[in-house]
Amino acid sequence: MNFFYISALLLTLVTSSAQSAEIYVTDPEHTFVSFSYKHLAYSIQTSRFDRVNGTITLNDQMDGGTIEIATETGSVSTGSDTFNKLLRSEDYFNSEKFPVAKFTSDKVIFNNQAITSLSGELTIKGITKPINIEVSNFACSRNFITLKYMCGANASAKLSRSEFNLGKYVPFVGDEISLNIVIEASKE
Convert the chain into a string of H (helix), E (strand) and C (coil).
CCHHHHHHHHHHHHHHHHHCEEEEEECCCCCEEEEEEEECCCEEEEEEECCEEEEEEEECCCCCEEEEEEEEHHHEECCCHHHHHHHHCCCCCCCCCCCEEEEEEEEEEEECCEEEEEEEEEEECCEEEEEEEEEEEEEEEECCCCCCEEEEEEEEEEEEHHHHCCCCCCCCECCEEEEEEEEEEEEC
In the predicted structure, residue 8 carries a pLDDT above the cut 60: no
Mean local confidence (pLDDT), 122-148? 95
The domain made up of 21-187 has a fold known as Lipocalin (2.40.128)
Domain ranges of the chain: 21-187
Model confidence pLDDT, tens digit, residues 11-28 = 444 444 445 789 999 999
